[in-house]
């Protein structure tokens, strides 16, 4: 079980998880940048371990893919 909490400034968050023997609390504060955080309950979702690691490293958990249109070659 893992729970993530974010403040209103979105530059820091806390993670609470059960390690099998007790709860562990992690605190992360970003010097630059902000977290992409849900704005309402409809946007809340479960994250995979990989997504949590990306979030802790300051990356977005939803990488955006730009689809380029094919050009005609002469």
What pLDDT, in 10s, does the model give residues 24-67?
998 888 888 777 777 888 888 888 888 878 877 777 776 666 66
The answer to whether residue 66 sits within a structural domain is no
pTM (predicted TM-score): 0.57
Print the domain residue range for 10: 2-56
The answer to whether residue 40 sits within a structural domain is yes
Q: Which runs of E-coded beta strand occur in 7-49? A: 12-18, 23-29
The answer to whether residue 71 sits within a structural domain is no
Question: How many structural domains comprise the chain?
Answer: 1
């Amino acid at each position: 079980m893992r729970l993530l909490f974010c403040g209103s400034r979105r530059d820091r968050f806390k993670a609470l998880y059960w390690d099998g023997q007790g709860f562990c609390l992690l605190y992360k504060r970003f010097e630059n940048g902000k977290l992409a955080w849900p704005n309402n309950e409809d946007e809340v979702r479960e994250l995979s371990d990989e997504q949590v690691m990306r979030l802790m490293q300051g990356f977005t958990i939803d990488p955006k893919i730009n689809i380029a249109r094919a050009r005609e070659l002469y």
